Amino acid sequence: MAEFTRLSPGYTVTRNGDSWQSVGVQIKPVNTALEVPSMSIPDGFAVTIFALGSNSSNVMIGPSKAAAIDVNRAITLQPGQTFSLFVKNTNCIFVSGITVNDVLIFISEKFS
């Protein structure tokens, strides 16, 4: 790091994680907003939300239970799609789906 600072004056760099973590959610029951289990995400890292490629249907992601079941406010992820959010905790994310046992995985780096 000191070498980076010496060789790259004026630039900054974000410290990478020492490890990483994940939690998952299975769609059950369907058409219902489900809260994602709590997982703390360190500042500077995003949680990447990954809809498994083996899912049978699209899943919806929202910032509230109401948004997660509203097609006009939720982000819709097709099987295999991902997106990322810089939030502090996964418990502010809600999901819903129409096929039982479809799966979403939430992944982020962390400091051990």
Burial of 16 (0-12, 13-18, 19+ CB in 10 A): exposed
d(CA 65, CA 1): 43
Residue 88 engages other proteins in binding (rule: CB under 8 A): yes
Amino acid at 92: C
Cis peptide before 63 (omega within 30 of 0): no
- Give 12 or 19: the residue with its C-beta nearer to other proteins: 12
| C-beta closer to other proteins: residue 15 or 28 | 15
In the range 25-64, which residues lie near other proteins by CB under 8 A?
Answer: 41-45, 58, 62-63
Using the contact rule CB under 8 A, the part of the chain among 20-28, 29-37, 70-78, 95-103 near other proteins is: 70-78
Q: How many binding residues for other proteins (CB under 8 A)? A: 33
Stretch that binds other proteins, among 10-18, 22-30, 31-39, 97-105 (CB under 8 A): 10-18
Q: Are 22 and 105 in contact (CB under 8 A)?
A: yes
What residues have CB less than 8 Å from 49, skipping those under 6 apart? 61, 77, 82, 83, 84, 85, 93, 104, 105, 106
Contacting positions for other proteins (CB under 8 A): 1-2, 4-5, 12-15, 41-45, 58, 62-63, 67, 70-76, 78, 81, 83, 85-88, 92-93
